[in-house]
Structure 1
């Protein structure tokens, strides 16, 4: 039997657009999709520029620096060097944490 985290369902972009359309009052799904695309573009640009983005009660997105480190190739077990880089980190807000509990 698979662990619970592997049984999760995934909301697709089309399903998210439909939900935005239903709940926002936008006239068409095309407008809802344009709004979603704009949001993703704004978030991406902000983080690319090194800014954090915070939605009070939901959470925050920020870019973190990862140091170079050693790892292992899972197929061969050989040690590899993983270069330093950047990654996006999401920290959920209190309201989101409380809702998910």
Structure 2
């Protein structure tokens, strides 16, 4: 399922126009993005939680040439699956 499928499904299930459903989905994801950028953890009970993990820079190696490469520090979103979702998928 992609974002447009989600919007379509929401519009059908809740008897909304596609524009209303799109606004709802976009607001939901924008709110999650803003919270993560502010350094907050986003938890959706029964589904999972999102947070930003920070990784330090390091010296890596180009596997083709063997040349040393400086890898800059970075931040990446991290998702941890919730117990209910994990149990549902494994049932």
TM-score by length of 1: 0.78
Residue deviations 1:6-42 (CA, integer Å, cap 9, x gap): xxxxx2221111122223x142111111100001110
Of 40, 58, 70, which residue of structure 1 is paired with 2:29? 40
2:84 and 2:64 map into 1 onto residues whose CA distance is 40
Counterpart of 1:22 in 2: which secondary structure?
helix
Listed as ranges, the gaps of 5+ residues in structure 2 are none
The number of residues matched between the two structures is 90
Deviation at 1:65, TM superposition (A): 1.0
Contact kept, 8 Å, 1:26 with 1:32, in 2: the verdict is no
1:82 and 1:28 map into 2 onto residues whose CA distance is 46
2:64 and 2:27 map into 1 onto residues whose CA distance is 40
2:47 and 2:79 map into 1 onto residues whose CA distance is 10
Listed as ranges, the gaps of 5+ residues in structure 1 are 1-10
RMSD of the TM alignment (CA)?
Answer: 1.7
Flag the structure with more relative contact order, 1 or 2, with Cα contacts below 8 A and sequence separation at least 6: 2
What residue number does 2:4 align with?
Answer: 14
